[in-house]
Chains A and B, each alone.
Chain A
Amino acid sequence: GNSVTQMEGPVTLSEEAFLTINCTYTATGYPSLFWYVQYPGEGLQLLLKATKADDKGSNKGFEATYRKETTSFHLEKGSVQVSDSAVYFCALSGETSGSRLTFGEGTQLTVNP
């Protein structure tokens, strides 16, 4: 079956530091890949997505590239802000019809001023 593995957290950074959160997946074919973000006390919201190999999703300074050869979709940001403190979830939706969204465990990011 499908699965998503995220780097173990939590992650604590200083403002303006570089961020990488690793995500690897297991799935047959060509799934769609997503990063969702959950701010404190809120539901999840889509941050970015990529639907085919070598696609780069980007939003709010965050980027992730769909790497089929390494089955990865790592999230990066060049300079984090305190307001980026949240939980980040990697997720995939399988290629076949009827495939549901599968989430990773989530990574807690705290950015200190």
Chain B
Amino acid sequence: NAGVTQTPKFRILKIGQSMTLQCAQDMNHNYMYWYRQDPGMGLKLIYYSVGAGITDKGEVPNGYNVSRSTTEDFPLRLELAAPSQTSVYFCASSYSEGVYEQYFGPGTRLTVT
């Protein structure tokens, strides 16, 4: 199993540009998550999904959008990139919530200049 995969690994965007961060998992997990990690700040939840066709906002959703058309894929869309979105983005998945482990992808390092 590949686990959770993310593309691209690195990206530099200009202010106002758009892009989609890709995330896929092959563990048949219903739950998927997008986090951002800023230096010294831990992880903040952006959006999550409890199954195909169902998404909900996390702690810091402004400036982002998501969709979940299949169990495997959970892309994150940045519509108008801003310097405040410079961060490392992690996708994760889990079988369920509560006591269940979350499996993380390797991350995407995004710089907006």
Contact = CB atoms under 8 A, between A and B. Distances in A.
Contacts of B58: 100
Interface size class of B (residues with CB under 8 A): 20 to 34
Contacts of A45: 103-104
B104 A106 contact: no
A49 B98 contact: no
Contact of B97 (A41, A51, A93): A93
Interface of A: 32, 34, 41-46, 49, 51, 89, 93, 95, 97-101, 103-106
Given A44-B43, A45-B104, 7 more contacts: A41-B106, A43-B90, A44-B92, A46-B101, A46-B102, A49-B101, A100-B97
28 contacts: A32-B98, A32-B99, A34-B101, A42-B106, A43-B4, A43-B92, A43-B105, A43-B107, A44-B90, A44-B92, A49-B99, A49-B101, A89-B42, A93-B99, A95-B98, A97-B97, A97-B98, A99-B98, A100-B33, A100-B97, A101-B45, A101-B102, A103-B42, A103-B43, A105-B40, A105-B41, A105-B42, A106-B42
